Structure 1
Amino acid sequence: MLNRRTLIKSSLVLGASQVIGAPFVVKSLADEPVKIGMVNPLTGVLAALAQSEVDGAKYAEAEINKKGGILGRQVQLLIEDSANDVGTGVQKTRKLIDRDNVAVILGDVNSGIAYAMSQVTNEKKIFHIVPGGHTDPITGTNCKWNVFRICNTTSMDANAVTPELVKKFGKKWFFITPDYAYGHSLQDAFVKALTKAGGTYEGDMLPINATDFSATLIKAKAFKPNVLLNNMGGLTQINCMKQFTQFGMQKDMALGGALFELETVKALQPEAQAGWWDMEWWWNQPNVPEVVKFVADYRAATKKTPSARDWFGYVSMHSVRLAAEKAKSLEGPKLAMAMEDMELPPDVALQAGKVRYRAGDHELMPSIFVGEVHPPKAGPDDVFTIAEAVPGDTAAGPVADTGCKMTHPA
């Protein structure tokens, strides 16, 4: 994207050349890369999840550039570390827009940071995709014309897995939940779904970077729930799971919840690889040829099996490409209009069925894979077996229930 300074400089060169009759070359727009900025917590308790999103985005960047880029221009992905801090995330977002002249912003894993970033991108009229920040208001009560999301809302995840947990284990639950936007939104969604099913609950809200879970686990054991829902994320979820198994609590209650991601499952001992959870995308879909090819190619290029987080980053980049091709522009308002109700092609959706960005709230509607986490079977990454693929529209419910009232710029 050419900025004002570049245009002024080009004009001065043109004027001087006309005076002295010297030959000149003005750099064309086609020589300028399409810059996409990504802000994610590459340090801190969510770093492993953030890194996978970056890996997926980088893989897509190389794939897109190999096929001619976006609108005939090469793509340049610029990555900044939010350090899991709202102020830093906002600062890095402004830097990418004002100094680096990015056309698009991606991020953040932390829902609170993603929301703060969206206020900046909306003010600047910059197209913004949230790959992996889940809290409902981002595409609900705080929805914005320029913001789209790939991961599920917390309500979608809770609605998908609750019936399975109730059916298998019972209606008495204990929550261990992080005390920030994501945790509050997720627990509220679970409580709503559980109460509707006639259940009861107790729980604790803990800091996002908590390390000692002993007091909460003692409280959970005394409550004698059917299911313990570990809603923590990243490193804190790992630490909580380790202490849960050290206390021998897996003999007393079932495990379950919204997200127990591949990165987290693989970091734990076999006895903690258990329970019924959601996967927002899963690599082992043998009946979908596009998935089989993608996983093989991704493993060959990156030496790792893609997780849902890798898929989030991958879909983010290709969504920008698809929207730009449809809009024939990189202007925020035009990209947003192009993305509404846009269906992802099979080699980007990487699952069976129709996957689209819902126009009313800008939420992606993929399948949610509900199933059982277990120790590795056929290989080190074979730690989850799908029981049911819940359609995104079914889990999300109608747009009217989200509280989103979308207003586009004049």
Structure 2
Amino acid sequence: GGLSTIGVEQAKGAELAVKQINETGGVIGGKPGVLGRPVKLLLEDTESKVATGLAKAKKLVERDKVHILNGIIMSSISMAIQGYIKEKKTPFINSGSGNEEIVHPPHCGRYFFKGTYGNPQVVLAAQYGAKKHGGRWYFIADNYSWGYNCTKFFKQAIQRVAKLEVLGEDFPPFNSDNYAPYITKIKAANPDGVAIGVCGGGYARFIKQARQMGLKTFFHHNFYSRPDVKAAGDAALGMTAGTNFLIENPNVPRSKKFAEDFKAFTGDYPGGSGADGFNSIEVICKAIHEAGSTDPEKIVDALENISFKDGIITPVYQFRKCDHMATFAVYTTEVVKDSKYQYDSKLIEEAKEPDQLITPCGKTGCEESMKKG
């Protein structure tokens, strides 16, 4: 579907993690596999469609008898599956949706875990641009729940460091081919910065079309996507973006080794989606190993208590017990050309308070749905 650039990379990360665990035990250590058994990965394509995604989830649970579900990028598909897994009591780690609404009522629940960062976290990277360039911003994002959610939190993040003036906001259809009408409006507004929440094929198309039309304004994208930046080419240079993954991260020693392994496996270096796919499989396998069982209740208990200190993304990976949202370090990066990586995300700064926009535990409204039974 429209999110294939992200989805394919995420799937490759998952495949690599399964390969390593089945060959050597990977991060689990000891014997190959988990609990003396090989890990079996079944891949299905949602085609970026809610009905298709839900049907594929039902097939995996009811026909294939999987022990746990993983993946999904579009939050609307995730929400549909979350309603289903509550009934089936099947654990599900979402490793691709940025919309934090998936961990709010009525979607949160004991069997669901949000394994990648959400908009309240990653938008903090926009604060760098606001401090450097000013508070007059134009917002453009996809016309569905993630895009609106992204824009809402962009504004909150910028307001904390600058006097925000919203010069305009547009929500073009997801995966649009022509962004010229919106770019014309942005040029006329002459903002200090453009906050971008456009994903899928539109990620690269918007950036390329904007630069081709002579828009030289500072760009900040919600998240760094290596495949999409490569598709945009030099038009993306100088753009900043948020991420939780760095190929070379002094605080996460395994990140560079993972990147080299990913390149050997796929022919290219990973971005955040590949890292999320790999990380989620490692987390799942560690939880099953620590649970000593594939019983869903024991897997959920292990995930709630996991403290993963040897991962590839963040120094300590864990889930909040109040809503099962993973917490991360958040990095502001700039797209640069690199002789080794071709296009890379150069670290500018790390957010000092990565939880400043997250709903505090005790106020999530998810407490009852987290209980057993």
Shared fold (TM-score, shorter chain, > 0.5): yes
Cα separation, 2, equivalents of 1:298 and 1:257: 24
The 3-state SS of whatever aligns with 1:340 is: helix
1:119 paired residue number = 83
The 3-state SS of whatever aligns with 2:17 is: helix
**Cα-Cα RMSD:** 1.9
Q: Which letter maps to 1:367?
A: A
2:182 paired residue number = 216
Q: Which letter maps to 1:218?
A: T
1:355 paired residue number = 317
Counterparts of 1:10-409 in structure 2, within 5 Å, are 44-66=1-23, 67=25, 68-141=32-105, 142-158=107-123, 160-196=124-160, 197-201=162-166, 202-250=168-216, 253-285=217-249, 288-346=252-310, 348-351=311-314, 353-374=315-336, 376-390=337-351, 392-393=354-355, 396=358, 398-400=360-362, 402-405=364-367, 406-409=369-372
Q: Which letter maps to 2:66?
A: V
Change (3 A) 1:106 1:164: same
Change (3 A) 1:82 1:204: same
Change (3 A) 1:381 1:397: farther
Shift of 1:286: 5.3
Change (3 A) 1:286 1:349: closer
Change (3 A) 1:76 1:404: same
1:115-165 per-residue CA deviation (whole Å, 9 max, x = no partner) reads 11111112110010000111111123331111112211111111x213212
Relative contact order (alpha carbons < 8 A, sep ≥ 6): 1 or 2 greater? 2
Percent identity, aligned pairs only, is 26
Question: Does the 8 Å contact 1:126/1:331 carry over to 2?
Answer: no
Shift of 1:377: 2.3
The TM-score normalised by the length of structure 1 is: 0.83
Runs of 5+ in structure 2 lacking a partner? 26-31
Cα separation, 1, equivalents of 2:307 and 2:274: 20
Q: Which letter maps to 1:111?
A: S
Question: Does the 8 Å contact 1:286/1:292 carry over to 2?
Answer: no
Q: Which letter maps to 2:291?
A: A
1:24-82 per-residue CA deviation (whole Å, 9 max, x = no partner) reads xxxxxxxxxxxxxxxxxxxx221010001100100111111122212211111111111
Change (3 A) 1:103 1:287: closer
Q: How many residues align?
A: 361
Which stretch has the larger CA shift, 398-407 or 326-335?
398-407
1:303-334 per-residue CA deviation (whole Å, 9 max, x = no partner) reads 22122111111111111111112222222222
Shift of 1:269: 2.7
Q: Which letter maps to 1:303?
A: G
The TM-score normalised by the length of structure 2 is: 0.91
Cα separation, 2, equivalents of 1:299 and 1:182: 30
Q: Which letter maps to 1:386?
A: L
Runs of 5+ in structure 1 lacking a partner? 1-43
Cα separation, 1, equivalents of 2:330 and 2:157: 16
